[in-house]
Structure formats: structure tokens, C-alpha cells
Amino acid sequence: MATVTPTTPQPLVLGRKKIRIVCISDTHNIQLKPPDGDVLIHAGDMTNAGSHTELKKAIEWISGLKHEVKIVVAGYLALQPRESLIGNHDGVTLDPAFFKEFGDHFHNNNPQSHEENLRLFVSNEAGSQGVMYLSHEAKRVVLKDGRTFQVFGSPWSKKGGMWGFGYDEPNYLGESLWTDIPADTDVMVTHGPPKHHLDSPQAPQIGCECLRQALWNVRPALHVFGHVHQGRGVEMVKWDIQSRHTQYKELSTTRILDPTPESKKLFKVDLTQIAEREETCLVNAAIVTQPWRKGIGHAGRNKAIVVDLMVDVADLRDGRRDKMAAGSRPITGGEFARAQTSTRSQVAEDAHTVSSSA
């Protein structure tokens, strides 16, 4: 089962209210103007090569958006033939281990600093503008009016070439990094997709089975990802939690389509009636429509996907907001996550949490 880690003070819940979450991913240096909403989620691949110049432009664009909180994970880039690039592109410099080993292969005459690039996302300035960068960790989002939810975000996806934040899929969930997801997670953000869900009809192996099993365990209301550009779309999965002998079973999957794909009208998904911990809305929010190809680039653009969800409203008297959001619940399960968390905390020493400064 999912790890339950000690948490920051739980909110004193006054009621429930709707929140609007705008989902985007795989923008690859496109700086679109997403629809209005309370929270923006970017599920990685903001850039093409994770260079300082690209990441700086990306953070300036994201920081300047009006959404009160902007949740960001990095995405993954590979040293494979440049005709078809699939991977975590931001991770070339944002993944410390990858950068140390392979960073020199990228940005040839333009040395990059992992620490400097990461600081763009975890600085006081980014925090004060509502940016919440999640590097395989859980945090509580608390809006100024008390609306709150628990989010887990991770840049990791299955290896598909030599890019940052890539892992070899383990044999079973217990061996995977996905046991780190706290059981009370309401919203999950990963760069890669779970297996069999919006992970491309051409290459279903791109999705991760362990991630799918972790979803079954936690059953968050919403899981946002990207990575597989052609898999963009929305599915509602009902989980079978009654079967005594079969784990990780699904009762049904329903595809939710944009009723007006050709128009500029919002692609809106209403989750206000969702059966909690029984179903999950999966959103592949890729903005570019194709993998990058020589001479063509990323081809067309998709719309952002807008999700309405009910969340708790917390009592914010007596400075509770700062306490609740005092941040990050560092993940404690496993060497993998410990290594990630310690690398990041050195860089983030001086960084405030989003909510205490927003």
C-alpha cells in the first residue's frame, strides 16, 4: 500500500468548494496563454533541451500567469538520433545525477549549472509568484481563501532514450519509486503516463504499470501527466476495490472528449460529482501534438484541459495557513527518493514555500 508519511498540521475543514485547475504539459518552449483558473499544472517538458536560457524563459512565462498557484514538474530529453526526441527535456539539467554524468553531451559550448537552473524554480522570487516546483514530493496547496488540497508531483518517467529523470521499470510496485505517493494525495502530477491510459496507441509500452498500480492504491481525484504527445486526452477510470483476489483491477474506463475540438471554447471536465477514492480522472495535457521531427518541429497545438473539482476549505485563523503549507512533506520511503530530496534541499535552503509567501 501507499506510504503514509507524517504530515504537516491537518487543516481544520470548514466545508467544500469548487476549484478550477488548468492542465498543460509538453509546451516545449511554446509560451501559450492558458485559460483562467485558480491553479495551473504544468506536467513537464517546458523546454527542448533544459538549457539555462530556455528554463529562464519558461519560469518567467509561468511566473507571470495569473493563476494563484502554478504547480510544475520537470520533464525528460534523450541522446538518441535527433529525428525523434522523446524524453524528459527539462531534466537534462534539472536531474542532478543525469546532469553530472551526461550534461556535457548537451549544450556543447555553453556550460550549464544544475544548481543555477534549479534555483530558477525554487527561489523566493518564484515562490512569491506562486510557483510550486515538485521534485518527487508531496505538498499541501493552500489558496488565500482557504481552499486546499494535497498534491504529489514527480518528474520521473520510464526511460525512453538518454534523458533526465528516466528509470527502468521495476518488476513490481513494491520495488518502484511510486510507493512514495502518500495515501491522502488528492491530485497527482507526473511527467510520464500510467500504462494503458493515454500512453499512445502506437507504443503502449511507454506507460508505466507500477504507476498504474500506485494509482489503484491511492485513487486520487485527478492525475495530470504528458510525455506522450499523441496520447493527449482525458479518461475517467473507475477502480475495482471490491475484488478480493485480484489487485489493481479496473471496473471501467470512459474517454471524455472535447465537444468542440475545432473551436476556441474551453475543453472543460466537471469532476465536482466524482466518487472520492473510487475513481480517478486521468489527463494527458500535452500541448504539442507530435514528437519533435527534423524540419517539422512539434507540428500543431492542443488546447489546455480545464478541470473543476471540489476541495476542502480550511480555517485559516491563527496563522494556520503558514503552518499547513510550511511545506513539503519530504518523502521518506526508499533510497531513490532520499537521494532526490537531499539534493534538492541543499539548493532550496533559502527558498520559502509558495503559500507562505504568496
Cβ 88 to Zn ion, closest distance in Å?
A: 8
The answer to whether 199 contacts Zn ion (rule: CB under 5 A) is no
Cβ 354 to Zn ion, closest distance in Å?
A: 25
The answer to whether 45 contacts Zn ion (rule: CB under 5 A) is yes
Cβ closer to Zn ion: 12 or 162?
162
Cβ closer to Zn ion: 89 or 197?
89
Cβ 289 to Zn ion, closest distance in Å?
A: 11
Cβ 198 to Zn ion, closest distance in Å?
A: 14
Cβ closer to Zn ion: 26 or 54?
26
Cβ 45 to Zn ion, closest distance in Å?
A: 4
Cβ closer to Zn ion: 74 or 187?
74
The answer to whether 184 contacts Zn ion (rule: CB under 5 A) is no
- 3-state helix/strand/coil string of the chain: CCCCCCCCCCCCEEEEEEEEEEEEECCCCCCCCCCCCCEEEECCCCCCCCCHHHHHHHHHHHHCCCCCEEEECCCECCCCCCCCECCECCHHHHCHHHHHHHHHHCCCCCCCCHHHHHHHHHCHHHHHCCEEECCCEEEEEECCCCEEEEEEEECCEECCCCCECEECCCCCHHHCHHHHCCCCCCEEEECCCECCCCCCCCCHHHCEHHHHHHHHHHCCCEEEECCCHHHCEEEEEEECCCCCCCCCCEEEEEEECCCCCCCCCCEEEECCCCCCCCEEEEEECECECCCEECCCECCCECCCEEEEEEEEEECCHHHHHHHHCCCCECCCCCHHHHHHHHHHHHHCCCCCCHHHHC
The answer to whether 90 contacts Zn ion (rule: CB under 5 A) is no
- Subset of 11-40 contacting Zn ion (CB under 5 A): 26
The answer to whether 54 contacts Zn ion (rule: CB under 5 A) is no
Cβ closer to Zn ion: 59 or 354?
59
For binding to Zn ion (CB under 5 A), which residues are involved? 26, 45
